[in-house]
């Protein structure tokens, strides 16, 4: 039987092989079997030794490659450490710079807000001056428009310290409130006068001014009364015409 076949069939028997068993065995067949088993073990060891010798060059090459790789890693590590220190220092500087940038950005926002407030204050001062002029010249249309534009002024501007520069006399809110009250009275009078004279063009003009003064409902009420009166008059005339017809 070939050695390889014996190795495959009887390799498990080596687990119980020991010198005490050999010394205690008296049967010739058992001694022969043990002898064959020893030969198989010897053959197996020879095969393993042969394999090791055969692959020795490959193993040595791999070990040399691993050794070279280890040296390369150590050299790279020596280069990385200074770079890591530079990176850490750069990261620290970047963090500090980022903090300063955020502070500058906050200051920029505050400055832009202040500049916008100053701009709106200057525009408000100009509107108030125009409003007072329009009130003196009884230019109701221009005055109503200026009151309407005043509503676009932000509360931040009206409450800012710069608001004192917008008016040398009364606060802007008081000026606008007084002008609005007077304009509403004027437009109401003009509307009633136009109704009495049946001036539909003037009625339409006055009706469009009420929303600019924040009195949309008043305008609707007056216009409704006008329409109802007009319809009543036309109905009465139609009844009179029918009676005498």
Task: Write down the mean pLDDT value for the chain.
Answer: 79
Separation of CA 233 from chain center: 64
Alpha carbon distance 11, 235 (integer Å): 128
DSSP-derived secondary structure for 191-232: HHHHHHTT-HHHHHHHHHHHHHTT-HHHHHHHHHHHHHHHHH
pLDDT at residue 189, rounded to an integer? 94
Above 70 in pLDDT, residue 15?
no
Above 80 in pLDDT, residue 14?
no
H or E element in which residue 20 lies: helix 19-24
Above 50 in pLDDT, residue 72?
yes
Cα-based angle 31, 36, 41 (whole degrees, multiple of 5): 125
Encode pLDDT of 165-208 as tens digits.
777 777 888 888 899 999 999 999 999 999 988 898 999 999 99
Confidence of residue 6 (pLDDT cuts 50, 70, 90): very low
Q: Answer with the residue of higher pLDDT: 141 or 99.
A: 141
Cβ pair 147, 131 in contact under 8 A: yes
pLDDT at residue 111, rounded to an integer? 84
pLDDT at residue 92, rounded to an integer? 77
Q: Which residues lie below 8 Å from residue 135, measured CB to CB, with a gap of 6+? A: 143, 179, 182, 183
**Which residue is associated with the tokens 């009495």?**
196
Above 90 in pLDDT, residue 211?
yes
Q: What pTM value is reported for the model? A: 0.52
Above 80 in pLDDT, residue 5?
no
């Amino acid at each position: 039987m070939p050695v390889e076949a014996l190795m495959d069939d009887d390799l498990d028997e080596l687990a119980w092989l020991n010198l005490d068993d050999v010394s205690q065995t008296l049967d010739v067949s058992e001694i022969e079997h043990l002898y064959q088993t020893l030969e198989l073990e010897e053959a197996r060891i020879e095969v393993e030794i042969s394999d090791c010798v055969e692959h020795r060059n490959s193993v040595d090459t791999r070990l040399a490659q691993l050794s070279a790789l280890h040296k390369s890693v150590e050299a790279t590590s020596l280069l990385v450490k200074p770079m890591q220190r530079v990176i850490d220092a750069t990261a620290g500087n970047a963090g500090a710079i980022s903090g300063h940038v955020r502070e500058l950005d906050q200051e920029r926002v505050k400055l832009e807000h202040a500049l916008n407030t100053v701009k709106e204050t200057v525009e408000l001062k100009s509107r108030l001056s125009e409003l007072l002029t329009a009130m003196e010249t009884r230019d109701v249309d221009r005055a109503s428009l200026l009151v309407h534009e005043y509503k676009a002024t932000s509360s931040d501007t009206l409450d800012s310290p710069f608001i004192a520069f917008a008016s040398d006399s009364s606060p802007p809110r008081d000026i606008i409130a007084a002008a609005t009250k007077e304009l509403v009275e004027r437009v109401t009078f003009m509307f009633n006068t136009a109704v009495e004279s049946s001036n539909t063009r003037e009625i339409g003009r006055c009706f469009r001014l009420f929303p600019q003064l924040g009195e949309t409902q008043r305008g609707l009420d007056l216009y409704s009364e006008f329409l109802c009166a007009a319809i009543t008059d036309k109905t009465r005339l139609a009844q009179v015409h029918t009676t005498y017809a």
